[in-house]
Chain A
Amino acid sequence: MEDCVGFKVLPVKVNENSKVIRHFFLKMHLTRDKCAQKPEYQTLFVVGVPEFCNQKIMKHAFRRCGKVKSVFFHNEPTPIEPEVLPSKYFIPKSIKGFKVAYVVFAHTSGLENALSLKCTESEPFILSTQCAPITNIVNRWCENYNDNIVDVRELQSEIDTYMSEYDKTSAARIQIEKETVDNEDEDGWKTVSKKGRNPGFARKEAIKNNIMKNEAKKKIKKTLKNFYRFQIKETKINQLMELRNKFDNDKSKIELLKQSRKFRPF
């Protein structure tokens, strides 16, 4: 395989009959942030994977290098651990378009084999075989459609367990809040929350802005506007300014219209 800026270039064919060579770019997965599901020295990082490659196809294709434990897809390279899906139904949206794949082998040998594959342009790596065929868009749509039709009872029970869990945790949180409220700590500070005898306001940006606005208003009320002579003079000047400004604004608008040759009636 050819080298390319730290990547190996793997020539790939979609299936036996295909005549078109594509390139996958392979590399050992190495990051500073360690990740349990993508262990070092076992994980192959693949870039440029087309949309139709699903888990099954990738697993089957890389089987020849060694046993594949799992395959993860992402939109772009990411150190983030793949989410453990908590639910069968509430799943994030599937990845669209080209993606990157993390192929986790069961043994380090799998990775080594993969990186030293002896594929050439004339004898490329074959992605899809009989047992893992590539499906076209209509099939994929149909499968997806059928999967979306849920089993109502199962879904309901899943929701129920989630909600009872949620209720429990939120109840616990409220309990803690309640306990901490109005208790002085060692240095004499009190935690203020929305609850309790003397509740504070929520710490939101909008509320803060409102308070600042009110303050500014108060300030304006206090100042005298036409007390000194210069102030009266100034208001007159300002009026004139406003007129001039308006005039100039209009002029700039006209200028704009002129640019688009708007004034030629014919």
Chain B
Amino acid sequence: MTLDIIPTMELTTGDKCGTKRKKKQNPDGGKKIKPPTAEELNKLRETENLFLSNMFRLQIDEMLKEVKPKQSTLDKIQEWFDKFSIAVLQDIDTTDYKKELLSNINLSEINTPFHLNPQNNTDGTFRFTKPCSVKIVGSHSLGTSILPLIKVDISIVMGKNFFHKKDYADEKYLRKKAFYLQCLAKELMKIPFMIDNDDVQFSFGSQSYYLPSLIVKPIGTLGKKCCFCLRVVPEKDIYNLHKFSPNINNINGQWYFNSSVENYDSKNYSTPYYNSLILQDLVMDESEMLLKEIIEINQNVQDALILLKIWIAQKNLGGIGNITNYILSMYVVYLFKKHKINKFMSSYQIIRNVWLNFGQSNWHNDGITLVDYESKKDNNLKLPLMSDFHSSFPVVFVDSSGYLNLCANVFKSNYIHIKNESNFAVEMLDNSNMNSFPCLFLTKASFLQQFDHLINFNDIKIIKDIVSQHSDKKSKLDLREDLALQFQQIIEPLLLSSLGDRITEMCFNVYQDSVVMGKTQEPFSNFLIGLKLNTQKANSVVERGPIANLPEVAKEFRSFWGEKSQLRRFKDGDVCEAVVWADSKAAISKKRCIIRDIVNYVFLHKLSISSEKFIYIADQAESVLENPFILPVGFDYGTGEAASLCCIDNFNEVGKLIRQLEGLPLTVSSVQGVSSVLRYADVIPPLSRTHVDNKKQRKTKGNCILAPTDEEIKIAPGFVKPIEGVLQFASSGKWPNELNAVKRMITAFYINLAARLQKDCNLTCQPFVNHIDIMKNGFVFRFRIYYPGEVSLLKKELMPDGMIRYRDTEESQYLERSMVQLPTLTSSLHGLSVQYPSYGPTCCLAKRWLRSQLIDNFHFPEMCIELLVASYFLQPEPFKVTCQPTIGFLHFLRKLATTDWFREFIVINFNNDIPKDHISSLECSIASQPKNSSRPAMLLVTPYDLDGSSWTKEGPSFTILARLMHLSRKALDIAEESLLKNGTVENLKQIFRPSLDKYDILIRLRNIMNPLRHMAVDAKMAKIYSLEPPEDKEKIPIVGLNPVQELLNVLRDSYSEHALFFHDTYGGNVIGVVFKPNVFNKVDFKVTNVNGQKLHKSSSNIKQVEFNLDAFIEDIDVHGGFIVKEVEKCNKSLFCNN
């Protein structure tokens, strides 16, 4: 760091000299500027031409530095390989191994990692012999291997005496390879100081189930940095490639099915997948040459490949069926041949071109080929046609030999997914408003977070059943035990046809565990299907089919949907076949999961798997937003959206009434909302209700019900939260010029407004000194008047020389925040939740989780949570906005956990209104800040608050954030695991139950005094309350009485210097207290530091005071009264005396 500062310092001084020279015309000053060297000029220019920006280039350089292995490591790898090759080629003793018939092999001695079915072959022999040669191939030989674990591919080349003429048929080739590796592993383990004997395993990687490779790790420290993948390949030209064309059969049906197949004709039973497994090995040399020719000499291509590798790795799409690094390297070669890439391009330009071309590719309809037909013409070979490939494989990319489809194993959906991701990557590069680099390369995207809904099959038995029932004979013969591909071939068309345009993307992720030596492994452990929903269509309750008078199509529709299909007349007059999934009045939370209902139905009726057999991940977390104990009037509560909507409608109505009032002294120019419910972000939205809790007549004053003062409250009345808004009048010059007078004028307006609303609109109103309360339809609305002059009056300062200046004061900032910024933000965020309906519930989930960790509004203000969530919705890259709140919540946790709060700030860029240079200048200023500066821990930059500190000044602090980073990381891990492994609501709820260890004192509260007790995560209530519709002429109920909150406030007022208080706002019945670290230190007596202290008894003359812990505990009871059930002293070290 210091080294880098020095040149900048020089430059700035040089700059100063330059300006000085301008004035004095002193030619000596100019000498201090370094004349630019040719290299520097070149570099500066190159950056502009070849890279996106300075930043992008520097970041690429830095990242490549991090991932590229050091030369010393490379040397060590080479050293180990030399040792290995000597051992394998010379030292191994193979005399113990006799030639054996494949039908006689003792499978308890040598085994394969994959299932052998049928167990034995009829012919063929196996004998473990020394290989012809061993060589390093693949990414390591090309210089594109990356840390943290370098994978070195080693080919073990076997000669003709090992592979026989007929071995390519009936799996013999594959089995012999596996047997061989098994024997090799045994032999290697015998050699001392060679490999780590505890860590020898078979891995499928992204390869087919039948092509496991042996993974060994060198012994010692090198084993932590690299591993070696051993593969057996045959010598060159051992088989004729022609035998492996996609339309040729190489497995005998009779042998496999163990019975004669009806109408068996080997032509109908071609085995393209099986052929491609063998072809891979046969064409290896040729492709290797091709790759080397282009990549090895070109540093920029290597860098580009590493970048692409990282990009793919961050998507977490590892298993079979995906576009692999190998395919991408071959694609780079293809682009090179097509002159889309040339050797003068920078790594940035190469990746950009790869993404651009990949994004436009169309391999599922119009595959590409590396074959140079011109040169092969004269060879007089009959290569398979492209149409052959397309009829056998969903995705086609033919290699240079013309026989192998490199994408044989690739799922069509996954190919399309990667294709979309490529387009997305280009979009990100072109987006000048963001720093795309970290999104593209540095953000790890878990599979769960990339999709909206997920289906997880984690029981292989169920899949086996499905495949054996629903897969056709041809693919059974071709793929045999490789269930993943077969299952995918069954599931993909089924989902596509049943979900149609409800989804935009689908992707499969197959998890394959690596296998311990000598064991046989199932093809995979988990089969995950990710669905990205089409927000426009996904929630529609009716699936409209063909018109009834088209019998052909209608019949098809009817046969697909079965009894679910019915005839319906639509609004446009058509009578159509249709499937109805839900009532159109159903809660939004139910509609969000219509796709789940469809999937459940289809799986049950088409594949006869019931919904318990797989895990459907969609709305698991949202159950904590439900309100099971109160039944509202007129709508289904669901996750609260309908209740919020009801509040918003009523608020708008009141606003309209106010604006329509005529003859006010000043006309009302705007009515804006402030409450979180108006942004759909209130966890407990107010419900319309009759507020006479126990039908008892209450004393009233004005239009209000009085709070009882003569008797103690023994049960908290229902909590009435006012819905707040801000009124603004048309500007006028008649306002007084003095603060007190302005305040009185505003109050006079409240009185006037109340009288008019009461008279003209028949609303129950009550003016107060600082606000007006209006009752409508069982809601209480609270409005305040904003007069801009009030802020400037608060800011006004008279300087001693008579000059007037305006400076922010605490009060003026508060006023501005609550009357100007909050309404603007509210309307912006409301707009956001209209654009993305999942925004509101996601906010609620985020709030609910934070609060459940006992972090309340004092520690982490509501607005900060909402803005954090908004930042994901406005700039979700590298993800896409989700329409499922549960997934959105995971994103919130990720954001909280992965942001480096000490060095980063969050940009919430509504309408892209923040100027670009402001962001970069802010970046610089934070970069130059000292480490423990006094800035707020969190900076949320919005167009209305360019400093980003107005909501975060009071909190959260670095301490709270550090704790939350830890908690959210844990919660995210637990949530993902719970969703994938268990999938039940109850299991996921554990992240909403906080740990109560580590608190010094726990204040247990009387549940009955908590007005929000029914919303606690594990609330139990005796009965369900049905609300009644509001009555006319109701008095305004007691507004805002929350005893628990009041107790917290009063404790914080007195003791915030000494302790932190934690509480779950939503129905929590415990307050956690943590003392600040130095509270129990004795301090010298000073008038300013005696609060809550007592004199320390000592004989010395120095008078010191110490914290009065007993008084603190007594205060809890004195203030709390009936609220406090028990004060539990948890920290043994503090209370050991008592």
Judge whether B906 is part of the interface by a CB distance below 8 angstroms: no
Cα–Cα, bound, A47→B1087 (Å): 7
Q: Is the CB of A166 within 8 A of B738?
A: yes
Q: Does B1094 contact A (CB under 8 A)?
A: yes
- B1058-1111 residues at the A interface, CB under 8 angstroms: 1085, 1087-1088, 1090-1095, 1103, 1105, 1108, 1110-1111
What are the residues of chain B within 8 A of A254 when measuring CB–CB?
A: 55, 58-59, 62
Asked if A176 is at the interface (CB within 8 A of a chain B CB), the reply is: no
| In the complex with contacts A21-B1094, A263-B65, A150-B702 CB distance below 8 A | yes
Known: A138-B1043, A248-B11, A254-B62. A152 touches B754 (CB 8 A): yes
A123 sits at the interface (CB 8 A): no
A193 to B291, CA, bound (A): 85
Q: Classify chain B: how many residues form its interface, as a range.
A: 35 or more
Q: Which of A188-238 contact B (CB under 8 A)?
A: 202-206, 208, 230-231, 234, 237-238
Q: Of A151, A204, A265, which one neighbours B310 at CB under 8 angstroms?
A: A265
Docked CA distance A212–B1087 (Å): 47
Q: Return the contact of A250 from the options B54, B438, B444 (Cβ within 8 A).
A: B54
Cβ-neighbour of A245 out of B11, B928, B1119 (below 8 A) = B11
Q: Which residues of chain A are within 8 angstroms of B1047 by Cβ–Cβ distance?
A: 137
Taking the complex as formed, is A262 at the interface, i.e. its CB lies under 8 A from any CB of chain B? yes
| Interface pair B1085/A237, CB less than 8 Å apart | no
Contacts of B1094 in A (CB 8 A): 21-23
Residues of B within 8 A of A205 (CB): 799, 803-806
CB pair B11 A142 closer than 8 Å: no
Neighbour of B1121 across the interface among A18, A136, A170, CB < 8 A: A136
Give every chain A residue within 8 A of B1038 (Cβ-Cβ): 145
A39 contacts the other chain (CB 8 A): no
Which listed residue (B1, B63, B708) contacts A255, Cβ 8 A? Answer: B1
Determine whether B800 belongs to the interface, using a CB cutoff of 8 Å to chain A: no
Is B1054 close to A, CB under 8 A?
yes
Binary contact readout B898-925 vs A (1 if CB under 8 angstroms, 0 otherwise): 0010111000000000000000100110
Identify the closest chain A residue to B754 (Cβ). Answer: A152
B516 at the interface (CB under 8 A from A): no
Given that A248-B8, A256-B903 are contacting pairs, would A163 and B744 also be in contact in the complex, using a CB cutoff of 8 Å?
A: yes
Instruction: Check B442 for interface membership: any CB of A closer than 8 A.
Output: yes
Choose among A5, A251, A258 the residue that contacts B1103 (Cβ–Cβ < 8 A): A5
Q: Considering only CB atoms and an 8 Å cut-off, how many residues of chain A contact the other chain?
A: 84
Please, which residues of chain A bring their CB within 8 A of the CB of B745?
Answer: 159, 163
Q: Are A136 and B1122 in contact (CB under 8 A)?
A: yes
Bound Cα distance from A20 to B1111, whole angstroms: 6
| Alpha-carbon distance between A96 and B1048 when the two chains are bound, in angstroms | 13
B548 CB within 8 Å of chain A = no
Contact, CB under 8 Å: A237 / B33: yes
Q: Given contacts A2-B1095, A48-B1091, are A141 and B707 in contact (CB under 8 A)?
A: yes
- Nearest Cβ distance between residue A160 and chain B, in whole angstroms? 8
Stretch from B161-169, B567-575, B766-774 that touches the partner:
B766-774
The answer to whether B902 touches A138, judged by C-beta atoms less than 8 angstroms apart, is no
**Bound state CA distance, A243 and B42, in angstroms?**
12
Contact at B747–A159, with CB atoms within 8 Å? yes
Q: Output the least CB separation between B791 and chain A (Å).
A: 14
- Cα distance A18–B1122 when bound, in Å? 17
- Give the nearest-CB partner of B443 in chain A: A265
Task: Say which residue of A14, A148, A234, A260 sits within 8 Å of B902 (CB atoms).
Answer: A260
Say yes or no: is B394 at the interface (Cβ < 8 Å to chain A). no
B268 interfacial contact with A, CB 8 Å = no
Residues of B within 8 A of A258 (CB): 62
Does B142 count as interface, using CB distance less than 8 angstroms? no
**Interface of A toward B, CB cutoff 8 Å:** 2, 4-5, 7, 9, 14, 18-23, 25, 47-48, 50-52, 76-77, 89-90, 96-98, 100, 134, 136-139, 141-143, 145-146, 148-152, 155-156, 159, 162-163, 166, 170, 202-206, 208, 230-231, 234, 237-238, 240-241, 243-260, 262-266
**Chain B residues packing against A (C-beta within 8 Å):** 1, 4-5, 7-8, 11, 14-15, 18, 21-22, 25, 30, 33, 36, 44, 47, 53-55, 58-59, 62-63, 65-67, 148, 310, 313-314, 438, 441-442, 444, 701-702, 704, 706-709, 712-713, 736-738, 740-741, 743-745, 747-748, 751, 754-755, 766-769, 799, 802-806, 900, 902-904, 920, 923-924, 926-928, 1009, 1038, 1041, 1043, 1046-1047, 1050, 1053-1054, 1056, 1085, 1087-1088, 1090-1095, 1103, 1105, 1108, 1110-1111, 1113-1115, 1118-1123
